Every structure is written in C-alpha cells, then in structure tokens.
Amino acid sequence: MSVEDTPQPESRRSLIDVLVVVGALAASLALVWVLTRDPVLSAVFGGAMFVFAGLSFVLSRRGGEVASPDFAQPDWSVTVAAIERLDVAVAITDRAGRLTCANTVFETQFGVASAPPMLALDVPSQERLAQATRMALRDGQAACDVAAEAPAGLGPSLWTAQLRRAGRGDDFLIWTFTPQSAPDLVRGFVQHLEGGLGRGLARAGIAAALVEPDGTIQATSALFAEQAAGDPEASLAGSDFIELLARDEDDTISWAHSEGHGEPMVLYAVPVADPDTPDPLDETTTPSLMLAVPASQGIGARANGSGASPHLEALLAQLPLGLAMADRDGRLLFANSAFMRAAGREGEDAPTYPTDLVVREDKRALSEAIRRFAQGPSSAGDIAVRLSAQAEDPVSLSLAGVRGLGDAAVLLGLTDTSEETRLKRQVAQATKMQAVGQLAGGVAHDFNNVLTAILGTCDLMLMRHTPGDSDYDDIQQIRANSNRAASLTRQLLAFSRQQTLRPEVLQLPDVVADVAQMLRRLIGEKIELVVKHDRDLGPVRADPTQLEQVIVNLCVNARDAMQGRGDGSGKLTLSTRKVLTSDARTSRSEIIPAGDYTALIVEDTGGGIPPEVIGKIFEPFFTTKEQGKGTGLGLSTVYGIVKQSGGFIFAESEPGKGTRFVVYLPVYHPAPGAQVEADAPEVQAEAEPSQWAGGGRILLVEDEVTVRIIAERALLRQGYEVTCAEDGEDGLAKVEDVIAAGGGFDLVVSDVVMPSLDGPGMAREIRAIVPGMPVLFMSGYAEEQLRKEIGLANAWFMPKPFSVQQLSEKVGEVLARTAK
C-alpha cells in the first residue's frame, strides 16, 4: 500500500492574489477621484493604499513559507519493504484502527480483511489483544500471547504479539507477531527409546523403532534390533525400515531375516508430535514411533473377540488412573480396576456398555459422545455425567478418540473422587459447624443479658416478699425457670467454645473412676458397664468438671439408644487407649495432626445412627428422640468442650450394630524447665479476701438498659455511690469530668461488648488518665478467651447471667483485694 499527495504551486496562487489586490486598489482610487475631484487627497489615498498592498504581499509570502512543510509526504511502499520479514508477521495501524500496511507473513497468517486487534482469534486471545491495545496507546508498548487459526487450515498456532506506539504524533501502532517454537520431542524419544522406555516396552514384548517419514530409522530399542537383525547390540540407525520387513501373499508381516518362518506381527505407527503444540502436525516431516507386536498378542487377537491387547490391558491395569476402552459401537472392551472403583463398582466385572454405569437421563448424551469421538478425527474432551452409584454428584468423564489400536476407538478416563468428595464434605461440615457455633455463641451472649435482668428483678422482688407471701412462690418459680434457661445458654457457649474452663493436668482413668458409680445409677441395671484402661497413658490438660460432663452425656445417649430397642438391655464399654504418633498418622481421619494422644472411647450395642443423620449429630438442637425428650444440646456440648480442650471427637456407627464415639485429647508435654503441674489449677487461688464493708464510688458502664438498672439498684442497696454510663464513650467522659472536679472512682464495672467504644478500649483510655484503675468486666464470653484478647492486668471477670447477691459479693471482693 502507498499514498501520494501532490501540492499546488505556490507561484500561481501568489500571482492571482497580486492581481486581485491591484484591481481593488485601482477601483478604490477611481471612486475617491470621482467623489472629491481633489488631486492632493487622491494622491495621499493612493500612496497609502500602495503601502498597505506592499505590506500585505510581504506578509502573505512569509505566511506561505511558514506553512509549507519541511519534509516529503510518506511513501508507504518503502515502509512495506522495510517490514518485509520471513520470521515474524508485522502490521501498522493508525489511531482509527485502520490497517495501513502489512508484510507478507501477516497477510498469509491473519489475512487483510480486518485490522488488529479485530483478528480471527478465540475469545480469550481477543480479550488479551484488546487489553494490550489499550495499554500500548496509554503506555507506549505492550505484549501478550494469542492463538490464531491459519487460513490454510494448517492447525492452530501460538504467537507472541508485541505492540509499539510510533509516528510524529504517536498516531500509529506497530504490531509484531512472533511464532512460539515447539519443544524438540524427537531428540527426547531417541534417548528414551534407547533407555528405559525401550526396556519397558520389551518386557511387554513390544519392539520399537523411531522412523523418519522417508523410512529411515533414527533409533531402535534392543528388542527391535534383536528381532530385526538377530543382535540386540546391532546399530540399525540409517537403515531402511521397509527392508527389514517381509510380507507374504496373505499380507502377513514378519521379519525379513526369518525368511518366512518367523511369527507374524502387527505394526502400529504413533506420530512423534505433541498435538497441543503451536506447530501444526506435518506428516511429511514428523517421525513416527513404530511398534512391532506379535500377531498373537496384538489388537483383535483375543479369543473372545473383545478387541483389546493383553499387553495393553496389563499396562493399563497397573496404572492408578481409571481407564477404559470402547469400540465404535459403544461396547466396553476393557476397564481397569481404578475405573470400576471410580465408577462405584469396585470388585465387579465391567459392564457391556459404558452407558450402564450412568443414570438413565445421561445415557443418551454419553452414547452420542462415544460415537462422535469414535468416528470423527482424533480429539479429546470431557463430559459431565452422573454415575448410577452416586447420582447426586456429577463427575467428569474424559473421552479421547484413538486410532491404530484395532477395535478400540475411544479411550475413557474417570478419576476416583470418593476421597475428594469425603474431604469436601468434611470441610463443608466443619465450616457449617463453625458458622453455627458463632451463631450459638452470639445468641447465648445476648440471651444472657435478658436472663441477667430477669434474675436481678426476681432477687430484688424477693427482698420485699418473705416466705408465705402470696407472690413469693411465683417469683421463685420465675427464678427457677430463668436458671434453667441459663443452663441452656451455658451449653450453647460450650458448643461455641466460649465457656470458661479451669484446665488441670490429669489422667483420664481418674476422671472415669470419679463418675463410674454415678454412671451405674444412670444407665440402670439392665445395661452392663465395662470399664477398661490402657497402660502408660499420657497426661492430658483439661477441665475435670467439663470432662465428666462429656462422659456423662455420651453415656446417657448410649443408654437411650439401647433402651429404645428390645428389652432395654445392652453393653456399654468405657475405655481409654494410648495413641502414638504413628497411629495418628494412619488413622482413618486425616484431620488429626500427628502427635501423641490419649483416647476416650464410649461404645454401645444400641441401634446405631443412620448414615444420613450421623453428619448432623453434633449440631445444636438436633435430636433423633421423640418430641419433648431431650434438648438436642448434649452432643453439641460435648463437641464444644472437646474442641475447646484442643481435642477431636469422631462418631462411628453402623445401623443395627451400635455406635462408637472416640475422643482424642493431646498428651500434655510441659515446656523444658517448667515444673509439672500436679492436679492443681494453672493459676493458684489467691488468698481469700476479708469481707468488704467500706463502700466506695463505682462507675457502672452497660449498654443494656435493663441490666444497667438492675446492677445500679443492687449496688445502691449495698451502700455504694454509683455513677451510670450507657456506653464506653459516655463512661470515659464521666471519668474525665470527675477527675477534673477533683474526685475519682474506686472501681469500674463494665460490659465487654458495647457499640462504639467497647469495655477493654474504654479501660485502656481510663488507665491512661488514672493508672492502675481496677476494672470488673461483665460478659457472657469465656474468661480465658477474654484475657487473651484484652491483655489487661488488674482486671476481673464476672460471667453473665448473675444474681444481685453474686454482683454485690464480686464487687466487694474486688474492692477488698485492691484496698490491700
């Protein structure tokens, strides 16, 4: 392409302009003479006009000189000649996206019907090229990889596109497409054929040679050299492959040196080229791997006519991948054990058709896919099907058309996803349990505020009503039901791992012995209780009270399961076992980290748990009991206590054969140099404070109005001077006001979770003003968890819900300690 522009001569335009100006001056001078008849005035006017005309002529000449270009117009034919290269495709477009010029390689590979980036590419390549165009116009240059289909139909090719902005006004883009080269597979095949690959094929009775398209041998395996030349050390490189073969009148192929007495064989040709490489497959230049297999072992030689090679079957059977072969009619010729296991038919014989493995709705789609891959060109793809053994989870079945394997036309691949599915379900269950735990903890915390107000109101009313009063029994009933609700919230906090634990270093057999007598009374006389302990059990660190609750809840559930069937008799086995690191690594569940554990096992002979239910048993409020029997919080509480103690719990059950719960608690290993705890709490109890009766000034900070009113009334009745604040910011402001007035507070009683500024944040701000100010936190969360998150010294905790008496006693205890 080229563009030529011819400018108009400047001299011709200047002459016309002069003649026009002279004519105008003459007409103007004649008009003045006719009107005035004054020679002096006419002479002055004529001279002025002459001077004006001269200046105009000079300026017009200068302007023309400035406007004239200093360079010649571009000749695009020179640009085309400059970009003409044989190794890359080059094109130039203007800012409007029009193709200005391109070299021959670009026209051959991409055509000139459209300019880049609007080329015949796949969708991802078009998106990458459009993004690179924007970057080049903005930054000056860009690059990306694209895949294009050659117009001649030679196959897909990969290119690296480089864009560069150019031109005096940066109005052009120069596009350079460089082809990506494919790896040299031939050289690698030569090395493998003369090494391990050749020896591996020889074990299967397959002789192999790498042959050029013209029939020249490049390399051979030792078995090929032995069969073709009688010497495994013979070098056949450069020999003619055809001359080594002989063919009789029945078109039977054998080795030429056997002179017709050798065993017939079958030849298979496999092109040595990667079909996914950007370079197209060219049969005139691509070598082939020739496989010589005895006819008695080749494809189609089986007595049952299935059409699969025993050697190929033996090879596929050893692979861990699920592989099968089907013929053009859709019959299944062979399927290895991994394929049948992935299809949910482990240990069964392969069916007649692959469609027998899927549900009825997917049979037609799979049959059409097998027929398409069997009859069309060699290609590969995937299809989503639902196996009849697991119809709820679709799987991906890979299909690949194969050629040169006799009756086998389609290779099917299926991956065993049972383990992956199991892990996905475990992760989903763990995620759900975590979400439910957070919800349960939040509900329990908010409900504790309500219960605190109810219990506090009951306590204040009981102070005005004595036993025998008409309202006394009703108030006591309200208080008793509130305490029952408080116990439910404590179970929810245990499930969400937000309860307060008092961990000790202990032995599991000791805990079991403490509750054994109570368990015998709980389970009844018809159920036999068997207790067994392993030797050399490692100590664990847990709350003994909470562990007793775990054992009791598991045993009560086992009792109910055994009483629900037959005459209510059964056997309950409670045992402890030592679990070493090696045992943990080989455990059925891969969730348990490697380490030493002490296991608590509770096993019953009840009716078992259905498989569809066992994944939900640890969820709160889930129960299989009749309505009105059980709260559904027993196992959820057990789950929370075990998890908060750093352990793991698993349920194993089979309907009709009982249930087995296993609790793994990590063995406690004290830090080097630390003293081993001896059945004592981690933090030694402080000395019992004396009874406080000195009063004091208290700042009460609580965002719940009902809780704040009850706490204020309770403290006022004890003689304290109470100042209330509705949140953290209000409490901080009241401290600042009191300090400014010369006063102060003896104790801050505050909730932990509040809007805007929470309790710990307010406490830090207050201690910046009054260092060492004692703080009593009220919270429904675990004390241990709060201490880790808050990190404040000289701070006390009081769990919700609490009574008026508990609040008064705790405030007096804190003031007594801080007054020392």
- 718 closest CA partner among 582, 790, 810, 817: 810
Q: How confident is the model at residue 21 (pLDDT cuts 50, 70, 90)?
A: low
Q: Is the pLDDT reported for residue 201 higher than 70?
A: yes
pLDDT tens per residue, range 563-618:
767 677 888 899 999 887 666 555 555 567 778 889 999 998 888 888 777 777 77
Q: Average pLDDT, stretch 791-807? A: 80
More confident residue, 722 or 158: 722
pTM for this prediction: 0.39
Tokens found for residue 98: 């029009």
pLDDT tens per residue, range 473-501:
787 788 777 777 776 666 666 555 555 56
Lowest-confidence region among 141-145, 245-249, 310-314, 798-802: 310-314
Rounded CA separation 809/284 (Å) = 98
Q: Average pLDDT, stretch 50-63? A: 60
Q: Is the pLDDT reported for residue 784 higher than 60?
A: no
Lowest-confidence region among 230-244, 249-263, 763-777, 778-792: 778-792
pLDDT tens per residue, range 355-390:
888 888 888 888 888 888 877 667 788 888 888 887
pLDDT tens per residue, range 635-649:
777 887 788 788 888
pLDDT at 724: 92
- 747 closest CA partner among 818, 674, 641, 655: 818
pLDDT at 413: 86
Residues 6+ apart with CB under 8 A from 59: none
Q: Average pLDDT, stretch 711-725? A: 88
Evaluated on CA atoms 330, 332, 338, 343, the torsion sign reads: positive
Q: How confident is the model at residue 183 (pLDDT cuts 50, 70, 90)?
A: very low
Q: Average pLDDT, stretch 553-569? A: 80
Parallel, antiparallel, or unpaired for β 288-294 and 322-326?
Answer: unpaired
Buried/exposed 253-269: b ≥16 CB within 10 Å, e otherwise = bbbbeeeeeeeebbebe
Parallel, antiparallel, or unpaired for β 747-751 and 775-779?
Answer: parallel
pLDDT tens per residue, range 293-351:
876 655 444 434 444 455 566 666 666 678 888 887 778 888 888 888 888 888 788 88
CB 424 within 8 A of CB 342: no
Q: Average pLDDT, stretch 783-804? A: 72
Q: How confident is the model at residue 284 (pLDDT cuts 50, 70, 90)?
A: low
Q: Average pLDDT, stretch 124-152? A: 80
Average pLDDT, the chain: 75
Tokens found for residue 99: 């193709």
Torsion-angle region of residue 435: left (phi > 0), alpha (psi -120 to 50) or beta? alpha
